[in-house]
Amino acid sequence: EGTLYDGGGTAKRCRDMSKCYVFRSPAGYVKHFVNAGFDVVSLANNHSGDFGPAGRKGTKAVLRNAGIAYAGLKGTDETAVFERNGTTFGFAAFAPNSGTCDVRNLGRAKEIVAGLSARCDIVIVSFHGGAEGAAHQHVPKKTEIYLGENRGDVYRFAHAVIDAGADVVFGHGPHVTRAVELYKDRFIAYSLGNFCTYGRFNLRGPAGIAPILKITTRTDGSFVKGHITPVYQQKTHGPKIDPQKRAIAKVKELTATDFPNGQLVIEEDGRIWKTGNGN
Q: What is the pLDDT of residue 277?
A: 61
CA 189 to chain centre: 8
Give, to the nearest 10 degrees, the angle between helix 106-117 and helix 154-163. Answer: 30
Q: What is the mean pLDDT of residues 189-195?
A: 97
Q: CA 11, 15, 17: angle at the middle one, nearest 5?
A: 60
> Residue 130 in contact with residue 188, Cβ under 8 Å?
no
> Which range, of 8-12, 29-33, 53-57, 236-240, averages the lowest pLDDT?
8-12
Under DSSP, the state recorded for 95 is: B
pLDDT category at 20 given cuts 50, 70, 90 is confident
CATH architecture of 3-274: 4-Layer Sandwich (3.60)
Burial class (CB in 10 A: 0-12, 13-18, 19+), 133: middle
> Residue 122 in contact with residue 91, Cβ under 8 Å?
no
143 half-sphere exposure, CB direction, 13 A CA radius: 9
The string of DSSP letters for 200-221 reads S---SGGGGEEEEEEEEE-TTS
Q: Is the pLDDT of residue 119 over 50?
A: yes
Q: Is the pLDDT of residue 28 over 70?
A: yes
pLDDT tens sequence across 198-243: 777 889 999 999 999 999 999 999 999 999 999 999 888 889 999 9
Burial class (CB in 10 A: 0-12, 13-18, 19+), 76: exposed
Q: What is the pLDDT of residue 215?
A: 99
* Residue among 228, 230, 225 nearest 273 (CA): 225
Q: What is the mean pLDDT of residues 55-79?
A: 96
Q: Is the pLDDT of residue 269 over 90?
A: yes
The mean pLDDT of the chain is 94
The string of DSSP letters for 35-71 reads HHT--EEE--STTTTTTHHHHHHHHHHHHHHTT-EEE
Q: What is the pLDDT of residue 148?
A: 93
Who's near 154: CB < 8 A, 6+ residues apart?
A: 103, 127, 129, 130, 139, 144, 171, 190
The residue extents of the domains of the chain are 3-274
Alpha helices by DSSP H, the chain: 30-36, 52-65, 106-117, 154-163, 246-258
Q: Is the pLDDT of residue 279 over 60?
A: no
Radius of gyration of the CA atoms of the chain, in A: 18
219 vs 227: CA distance, rounded Å: 18
87 vs 217: CA distance, rounded Å: 12
- pTM for the model stands at 0.94
pLDDT category at 87 given cuts 50, 70, 90 is very high
Long-range residue pairs from 201-208, CB within 8 A, at least 24 positions apart, any chain: 201/175, 201/235, 202/133, 202/175, 203/233, 203/234, 203/235, 204/134, 205/134, 206/134, 206/137, 206/176, 206/177, 206/250, 207/133, 207/134, 207/175, 207/176, 208/232, 208/233, 208/234
